[in-house]
Amino acid sequence: LNQRRLKWVGDLLSREDLDGFLISSLENIRYLSGFTGSDGALLVTHRQKTLLVDSRYTTQARAEAKGYDVVQYIKKAQGITDAVISGHVKRLGFESQHMTHALYADLTTRLPRIQLVPLDDTIRTMRARKDPKEIGVLRRAIAIAEEALLSSLELIRPGNSEKEVAQEIEFAMRRLGAEGAAFETILAAGHRGALPHGKASESTLKTGDLVVIDFGACYNGYNSDQTCTVCLGDPKPKQRRVYSIVKEAHDRAISAIRPGKSFQEIDRVARQHIEEQGYGPWFGHGLGHGVGLAVHEEPRISFDSSGFVETGMVFTVEPGIYMPGWGGVRIEDMVLVRKGGCEILTNLDKELRVL
Ligand code: ZN
Ligand code: ZN
């Protein structure tokens, strides 16, 4: 039972003058209770903590969610209704970004006298700062993904398809103990590298290609995320130049990270360098994002972010340049914010690797 996280919810109830908080996001349910099933709901009141699941998960929920009352439902809306009534809840907070409209409509019909209070994803905010145990799990997810990539390097050669390589990387992750890939591995060679999220295709690798490989493993529910861009054969001058611009933007952003800085400021450091070198229009996405139980979570590090860097946050730094018809370069690392700076959690060297 994680008292710190529960206290946070208790404080939220008091602050928002709520009798209960209904949590429907699976990641947030897992974060609070430890339950890893694929469906359910969590109701926290000042006095009770109830995990509602269907019959597939009753046994598992009792084993995983220590300290929670596990209640089995046949229909979720009915299960929630019963729990809300027995908990004497009048004002019920819910996650406005997660509850489906169907469930919302169902609950308002079943509970006409109860006030449903939409809350932003407040638990996501809490999740942005990782505790030492979470960091340990993240390190393991990173180590697995890195070993998987290194063991697949020999397959990254002309003639093999993007898909063949990506599948081998993902298979290696599982073999090394991952639950699976954190997301569908992005492996985009040559012109396809200009697609920031180019899924691995049947197209084959060619000598002279830059290959963008964005990969991560999921371990104990936690995800890793990093990108290496490699070159098949000797890089041409423009490939070297674009790579070094992205690398410099990446390095400068990482050196700028420290508690108290705004996310916008960190993004600007990288973006400014790319703009000064004349490639501004080809860097369209934000600089980075938090990683944890979700591959993309708080905080967002972008030109339109609000908020500030805090110790314990884990996020990516991933500038890129993508030019349609030419290709792309992205370099991505995960960092952990510490007092006075940050530690790079990912270990693979980010100098241009020539295969
Ligand atoms: Zn990535
Ligand atoms: Zn990322």
Residue 226 CA to ligand 1 centre (angstroms): 5
Which run of H or E residues covers position 303? Answer: none
- Distance from the CA of 341 to the center of ligand 2, in angstroms? 20
Indicate the pLDDT class of residue 120, thresholds 50, 70 and 90.
confident
Distance 315 CA to ligand 2 centre (A): 8
pLDDT of the residue at 121: 74
- 155 pLDDT more than 80: yes
What average pLDDT does the segment 183-203 reach?
94
Helices (H) and strands (E) in the chain, counts: 10, 20
Between the CA of 100 and the centroid of ligand 2 the distance, in Å, is 27
pLDDT value of position 309 = 98
Q: What is the pLDDT of residues 277-336, one digit of tens each?
A: 999 999 999 999 999 999 999 999 999 999 999 999 999 999 999 999 999 999 999 999
pLDDT band at 48 (very low <50, low <70, confident <90, very high): very high
Residue range 199-211: mean pLDDT, rounded: 95
Quick check: 106 pLDDT over 80?
yes
Give me the mean pLDDT over the 77-101 stretch. Answer: 96
Cα of 218 from ligand 1 centre, angstroms:
13
CA 333 to ligand 1 center in whole angstroms: 8
How does residue 118 score in pLDDT terms, banded at 50, 70 and 90?
A: very high
pLDDT above 90 (res 351): yes
- Closest listed ligand to the CA of 214: 1
Position 124 scores a pLDDT of 85
Cα–Cα dist 283/287, whole Å:
9
Strands 314-317 vs 210-215: parallel, antiparallel or unpaired: unpaired
Residue 81: DSSP 8-state: H
Pick the ligand that lies closest to the CA of residue 185. Answer: 1
Q: How many of the other CB atoms lie within 10 Å of CB of 97?
A: 12
- Taking all residues of the chain, what is their mean pLDDT, rounded to a whole number? 96
Give a three-class secondary structure readout of 113-173: CCEEEEECCHHHHHHCECCHHHHHHHHHHHHHHHHHHHHHHHHCCCCCEHHHHHHHHHHHH
- The answer to whether residue 184 scores a pLDDT higher than 80 is yes
Q: Can you give the pLDDT at residue 123?
A: 87
What is the reported pTM?
A: 0.94
Residue 164 CA to residue 258 CA, distance in Å, equals 40
1, pLDDT greater than 90: no
Closest ligand, as measured to the CA of 294:
2
Say how many Å lie between the CA of residue 290 and the centre of ligand 2. Answer: 8
Instruction: State the virtual CA torsion across 61, 66, 68, 69 in degrees, nearest 10.
Output: 60
Residues near 59 by beta carbon (within 8 Å), at least 6 away in sequence: none
* pLDDT for res 197: 87
Q: CA-CA distance, 137 to 38, in Å (whole number)?
A: 21
CA of 80 to the centre of ligand 2 (A): 35
| Model confidence pLDDT, tens digit, residues 206-236 | 999 999 999 999 999 999 999 999 999 999 9
Is 90 exceeded by the pLDDT of residue 198? no
Give distance in angstroms: CA of 293 to centre of ligand 2.
Answer: 13
pLDDT, mean of residues 92-104? 95
Instruction: State the pLDDT at residue 2.
Output: 84
Say which ligand is closest to the CA of 186.
1
Q: How does residue 8 score in pLDDT terms, banded at 50, 70 and 90?
A: very high
* C-alpha 319 – ligand 1 centre gap (Å): 10
**Residues 44-74 as b or e (16 or more Cβ within 10 Å = b):** bbeeebbbbbbeebbeebeebbeebebbebe
Query: Which ligand has an atom closest to residue 335 CA?
Result: 2
